[in-house]
Amino acid sequence: MAADGHDHSPIKQFEIKELVPIDLFGIDASLTNSGAYMLVGLGLIFGFLYFSTGGRSLVPTRLQSISELIYEFVANTVRENVGPKGMQFFPLVFSLFMFVLVVNLLGMIPIPGITFTVTSHIAVTAALALLVISIVIIYGLYKHGLGFFGLFVPSGVPAVLLPILVPIEIISFISRPISLSVRLFANMLAGHIALKIFAGFVGLLLGAGFWALLAPLPLALTVALTALEVLVAVLQAYVFAVLTCIYLNDAVHGAH
Amino acid sequence: MAETNKIGGADGAHKDVHTSTGAHGGSAESKFPPFNTETFAPQLVWLALTFTLLYVLMSRIALPRIGEVIEERRERIQRDLDTAERLKSDTDKALADYEKALSDARSNAGAIARETRDKLDAKVAKRQAVVDAEIHDRIADAEKRIQDTRTKALASVDEIATDVAGAVVKQLIDSDVSPADIRSALSKG
Amino acid sequence: MDPEAAKYIGAGIACLGMAGAGIGLGTLFGQFLSGALRNPSAADGQRGTLLLGFALTEALGIFSLLIALLLLFAV
């Protein structure tokens, strides 16, 4: 696998390959492997949710109960973090969660030369984070008007401290989309690079004569890391959804 | 939704163009793929497309479908629970009725038994009284008879005594004494 | 100093940041365990919070790993 390390650098897997060149009013809108993975993810999500609930049986089939479990899980997350008024955002949070989850997990399926993780690109995660934060700001302003900025003024604090605290609150608000996007991006990127590096050790050791005896060690580590990465893939999708809910809570309920 | 998505995506792309170009300084050969700004546009276009589509499909079709099933099941379960509750209360009522009937019957049976016992007691008492009276009569008769016999016997004793006394006197003094005299003599003694 | 060498040294130093994440994860799971052993019945309800904390803490360590990786591959 990593026999000729030159061509198989750990970042090779993140390369974007153009599949179908499309030019849309001067914007490069080519279908790339990233876009293809998004489409596959979209198809999987919708196909699964649609066909698993095909029977709409009162006593759910196995697949239907999976759909219902995911539905209830996300619905409970929204209900707990935003409250009943936040259920209007349920489709948004559900879409975000499913998209990130499925795309993360698709990246964990190893297909030589093809495997690609959409969320390992900062452009995608930043776009999703900015989508969330713009909805928070726009909805907050629409709902509370300028009172939305009361968010930056912590209640029950002596007025003397406000000049210090307000800038801190503003910085923490601005850092939200950054941390939201970088967290997902960095987790996916670092996880896949670590996997690739440890898998590369297996190849290096196998090609090193006597030291091939040690090859099972990095292999075992790779297996363990794969399990951890699957956990991280699910957790990061959940974290993305939960943080979205927490930010939406500010928009729905305004300053505390 | 789609609008915000696109705007947000464009902003994100814009911001990263600067950082990326700043960091790289034009080493086109070993560009780090996530920071390669040339690939941002197609990624964002397809992200906007797929995510908007996903959102529409989820909010219009998939989620209402699942929500409907869950809601229907919840209603059905609620209805079944209500029915069960009603049936249970019916059962409880029937059970209470039964208990009441049972206790009524029990108290009735007790009353009947008491009545019968009283009746029998009365009958027995009456019969006893009759028998008692009969026995009493018989005893009285018997006593009377004994008394008669006794007086009769006593009377006979007097007579015999008189006779014996007359005979004894006659033997002793060889004279006839009138029975009347003997009698008076005996009664004196 | 050779810029290439500086890159590698910088990547190594950046990885030290992961020690903080390690301490944080240890504290997180240790505290959870001690709390869970004190009151096992309440532990199940907090497992989601635990995983959320795990992901948030781990992400901070990943940030420094990311800096190291960027130094190695992107600069």
A235 to C65: CB separation less than 8 angstroms, yes or no: no
The C-alpha atoms of residue B175 and residue B159 are separated, in whole angstroms, by: 19
Q: Given this model, what pLDDT does residue A20 score?
A: 80
Chain B interface includes A116 (CB < 8 A): no
Cβ contacts of C54 on chain A, cutoff 8 Å: 235
Instruction: Please state the length of chain C.
Output: 75
Domain containing C26 — which CATH number? Answer: 1.20.20.10
B65 to A56: CB separation less than 8 angstroms, yes or no: yes
A189 to C52: CB separation less than 8 angstroms, yes or no: no
Its domain, for residue C55, covers 3-74
Q: Indicate if the pLDDT at residue A203 is higher than 80.
A: yes
Q: How far is B110 from chain A (nearest CA, A)?
A: 55
B51 to A95: CB separation less than 8 angstroms, yes or no: yes
Q: Which neighbouring-strand residues pair with A80?
A: none
Q: At residue A20, what are phi and psi to the nearest 5 degrees? A: -125, 110
Percent of chain C with pLDDT over 90: 43
Cβ contacts of B54 on chain A, cutoff 8 Å: 42, 45-46, 95, 98-99
Within 10 angstroms of residue B57's Cβ, the number of other Cβ atoms is 18
The model's pLDDT over B51-84, given as tens digits with 9 standing for 90+, comes to 999 999 988 888 888 888 888 888 888 999 999 9
Beta carbon pairs, B and C, within 8 Å: 7
B16 to A122: CB separation less than 8 angstroms, yes or no: yes
The model's pLDDT over B124-136, given as tens digits with 9 standing for 90+, comes to 999 999 999 999 9
For B54, the closest of A11, A72, A95 (CB atoms) is A95
Q: Given this model, what pLDDT does residue A237 score?
A: 92
Instruction: Please state the length of chain B.
Output: 189
The C-alpha atoms of residue A50 and residue A64 are separated, in whole angstroms, by: 9
Q: Token pair for residue B84?
A: 């069960």
Within 10 angstroms of residue B26's Cβ, the number of other Cβ atoms is 7
For C62, the closest of A10, A11, A186 (CB atoms) is A186
Percent of chain A with pLDDT over 90: 23
Task: Give the pLDDT band (50/70/90) at residue B175.
Answer: confident
Mean pLDDT score across all residues of chain C: 89
The model's pLDDT over A102-116, given as tens digits with 9 standing for 90+, comes to 999 998 888 888 888
Q: Give ipTM to 2 decimals.
A: 0.86
Domain count, chain C: 1
The model's pLDDT over A23-64, given as tens digits with 9 standing for 90+, comes to 778 778 788 888 889 999 999 999 988 888 877 777 778 888
Q: Indicate if the pLDDT at residue B186 is higher than 80.
A: no
